[in-house]
Amino acid sequence: MGCLHAPRTASRAALVLLAVLLLGGPAVTAALTGRPAGHAKKRAFAIKGKPRVKLHPGTSALVHVKLRNRRHQALWITQLKLRLRVDKRHRAAGCSGRRDFAVLQLPGGAFPFRLPASHRGGRAWRTLRSLGVLRAPGITMLDLPLVNQDACKGARLRVLFSGKARKTRPRGRPAVPAAPTPAPTPAPTIGAP
């Protein structure tokens, strides 16, 4: 009944992903890379995700998160969070992860949800939607007309994921239901009016 914690520091970053948001003019392009696999074997579960659209001031992108259970027993995910960190050079120039960007976290009602046990070495990645979570976290580049945001051009943002899981379902909290399966289409009847 112990609690499994995913680390929050970059030094223990099995769950930390690097999002390189390149601000070329008004557009932001997003790409993510992971950390070395050597650190990942110690963690109960892994998180990865990326935005699928380009950002520019005033626009938002959902972060399509996937989870992988590395244990041979189901886990109850009780928390997932993401944070942004601007690279040192652009931060010194005045780009601020807190001022220029906003993060939309998963709502508290999305938790807990069940991450099934791993099979075949824990290689199966599962989307939040397949786990019954119908919302996704997001990133917004704020449009600040009274602030010069040129310092963010070419900035690299690190998207830091953290999470918590339990081996047993937390008491007093209803589980998020699994994603509904589509109803089978009834077979047409031959000769029916």
pLDDT tens digits, 149-192: 999 887 888 788 999 999 988 877 666 655 554 444 444 444 44
9-61 pLDDT per residue, tens: 333 332 222 222 322 222 222 223 333 333 444 689 999 987 777 678 898 98
- Set out the domains of the chain in order of their start, with CATH numbers: 3-164 (2.60.40)
- Hey, how many other C-beta atoms are within 10 angstroms of the C-beta on 32? 16
Extract the runs of DSSP E, i.e. beta strands, from 52-156.
59-69, 75-86, 101-104, 113-115, 126-127, 138-141
Instruction: Say yes or no to pLDDT of 105 above 70.
Output: yes
pTM of the model: 0.67
Task: Give the per-residue pLDDT at 171.
Answer: 78
